[in-house]
Amino acid sequence: MSEENKIPNPENPTTFTGLKLSKPKTVAAGIPAVLSSFKHVFGAMSLARGAKALFALNQKGGFDCPSCAWPDPDDERSGIAEYCENGAKAIAEEATSKKLTYKFFEENAVADLAQLTDYQIGKKGRLAEPMYLPEGATHYQPISWDDAFLKIAQELNALPDPNDAIFYTSGRTSNEAAFLYQLFVRAFGTNNMPDCSNMCHESSGTALGESLGIGKGSVKLEDFYEAEVIIILGQNPGTNHPRMLSALQKAKANGAMIVSINPLPETGLMGFNNPQHLDGILGRNSALTDIFLQVTINGDMALLQAIIYLLIAAEEEQPNTVFDQQFIDNHTIEYDNYIQHIKCKNFNELVACTGVPIEQIKETAALLRNKKKIIACWAMGLTQHKNAVDTIKEVVNLLLLKGSIGKPGAGTCPVRGHSNVQGDRTMGIYEKPSQAFLNNIERVFHFKPPQAHGYDTVEAIKVMHEQKGKVFIAMGGNFLSATPDTLYTAEAMRNCKLTVQISTKLNRSHLIHGQEALILPCLGRTDKDEIYGKQQFVSCENSMGVVQSSQGVLKPISDSLLSEPAIVCRMAQTTLFNKYQLRWKEYSEDYDLIRADIERTIPGFDGYNERVRQPGGFYLPNCNREGTFNTLSQKAHFNMADVQPLTLAADEFKMMTIRSHDQYNTTIYGLDDRYRGIHNERRVIMMNQGDINGLGLKAGDVVDLHNNFDAVDRVAHRFIIVPFAIPRGCTATYFPETNVLVPINSVADKSNTPTSKLVVIKITPSEVV
């Protein structure tokens, strides 16, 4: 881009970013991924420190990746590298040698830091000591740990009602820390435990729980190698779960066919060069997807119903050859009603709602017709829509028809994001705990926990906005940048009396704060955690229900850091004193004691301390995997739902928020989206060329994006138009930059998840100079 056409950074109009475009890649990983990994890791720390971290990453006896929740192989791990490019980037972020002491905060006012981009904020370094922002102050100042915990205790105990406090959890939090955190919160007297799952796979848990009796996926990694068909819906594994590509490649070598359903032709869905294999090193493309269905945004339910419509016709033509009638008769209910429900649909209307050519839909149905071992994988491309729960249930309907649950090579696979988000929920981080869980807490710890449901993430934001939530404590995460309706959420945070962030790195949630604010720096996954000379370890649960140990190997960058379990224990001890005689001091000194009480409280953790020390850990029970369904009927439920077409005005578009390849959740590793060919800029909007022409605009034009849900005018300023292979009427932008457009009241039915994958927008030439 020429000098005169460079686009000013809208967060700092005096600088220029210089957007550069290249041809999108056709294959993921390979040598470029290796070079990118080393560039990030060894640019952030010494060769020795970086190598030590990488060699322990995802290895048995090492530490769990702080990035995604994709499982490690049960058998031998790679001796070269059991991690992906984005895992290496996560290590670079966490294990960086740069650190922020009180001098950094002394020299930088909060208001000045808030003007930086999320990328610039994240690159400042690791937090090295506790910091406190008094009411009315302009700079954070150092505070002792004792005084920090005393401040928290004073504010919590001054609340007229425990429900005036909100306790958020990020998926990074270990099982041990999460269990202690929920125990503290419930002993304090509330179930206000919103978490990051509320914003991502809450829809999956709701749909699977209601249909199948467990809110988790049913497959193991080895099932991929026995599958006949793998369907990937609304997921971009090449960027968000890169190690999944190895499993897909192995599955394909074993004969599996792969069907990918997505509005964007993501590189990782199309091809994969495994850098640990000679062919991958030589750049010999390994194609992955056999059928790519480029569905319009939110066309997934219509597409699934259209495919099932054709399969029903095939089953009626040749009874007992397409559907697994024995499985259906023995293990499901509502089959006959469901079949009639689909047969009453207008097939052509369903096809029109998908954006997919009818020939491809017929090709997919023909592929599935005689297959019995099918795995369905999905991520937030399904979960963040108003009809997300029903759409996921439609995925389940397809698997039930084919008898593809509870047998090898088949089942459900919601691909989780953060590496222990599933484990946190298992540990009791949930605003709507089951009565059985609460009864177990009472049985083991001899106090009656609160019975009323607490607030989820959206509800918590609203309560804080109404000035009813007075104290906000976050166990990890970057709440402001992760949540919808950014300006509304910022107002909510500022309404709090005290905000507390337990963090490894500086982020925007430290800079948009309550009247008073605390930053409590904690150890990361890579850090050694030694107590009285004995090294402790924690544990995590991956997407497929494996619980394994995680033990850091690096010397912490500061002696002033505490582990998450220690922070929770000291916070609880100072707040609760000796209430209920809970063993906070003992827990903080020996994590085996935490695991022993988890075993007493949560089913499936028998012999926890012994089994978690076994190489590779252990699987938790999973009723679907065992061929049973813990619903009220003890059978799987077919679900009946209708497609609700969205009618747009002539000047309206559907927008989905996505990640770049240099990003994990709200952590921005860099400014390049290498696979999509977008470099050195994040404020872009990907559009179909026909839509660009229709608006009288052109590539490189700078536009403003508008949303008017609930008659509230939301604007995201100064985005650069980039032509892209996306269906007409659809656009894509990066989050968190466009979270400002996601309405707080636009949520998925039942799960209350923000609808970040379908935001109705208008596009106008930018009015900001």
Report whether 461 contacts 489 (CB < 8 A): yes
In contact, 422 and 545? CB cutoff 8 Å: yes
Instruction: Look at residue 324 and tell me whether its pLDDT is greater than 70.
Output: yes
What's the rounded Cα separation, in Å, for the pair 350 and 362? 13
Average pLDDT over residues 469-481: 96
Amino acid at 263: P
Q: Which residues of 61-93 are buried (b: 16+ CB within 10 A; e: fewer)?
A: ebbbbbbbbbbbbeeebeeebbbbbbbbbbbbb
The residue among 384, 403, 401 whose CA lies nearest residue 218 is: 403
Is it the case that residue 7 has pLDDT exceeding 70?
A: no
Confidence grade of residue 77 (pLDDT, cut at 50, 70, 90): low
pLDDT, residue 280, reads 67
Q: How far is the C-alpha of 354 from the C-alpha of 359, rounded, in Å? A: 12
Closest CA to 351 of 305, 384, 316: 305
Residues 6+ apart with CB under 8 A from 79: none
Check residue 432 and give its pLDDT: 98
- Mean pLDDT within 612-641: 96
Q: Tell how strand 672-673 and strand 678-679 pair up.
A: antiparallel
CA 496-501-502 angle, to 5 degrees, is: 150
Mean pLDDT of the chain: 94
Tokens at 349, concatenated: 């209307």
DSSP annotation of 80: S
Query: Is pLDDT above 60 for 75?
Result: yes
Burial class (CB in 10 A: 0-12, 13-18, 19+), 633: exposed
Q: What integer pLDDT is reported at residue 76 of this predicted model?
A: 67
Q: CB of 259 within 8 A of CB of 360?
A: no
- C-alpha radius of gyration, the chain, whole number: 25
Looking at the DSSP bridge assignments, the partners of residue 131 are: 142, 519
The 10 Å CB-count burial string (b at 16+, else e) for 203-217 is bbbbbbebbbbbbbb
- Diameter of the chain measured on Cα atoms: 76
> How is 542-558 classified by DSSP, letter by letter?
-TTSEEEEE---BPPS-
pLDDT at 385: 98
How many residues does the structure list for the chain? 769
Under 8 Å between Cβ of 175 and 541: yes
Residue 489 amino acid letter = T
The single-letter code of the amino acid at 417 is G
State the number of CA atoms in the 13 A half-sphere of 323 facing the CB.
24
**pTM of the complete model:** 0.95
Residue 477 above 60 pLDDT? Answer: yes
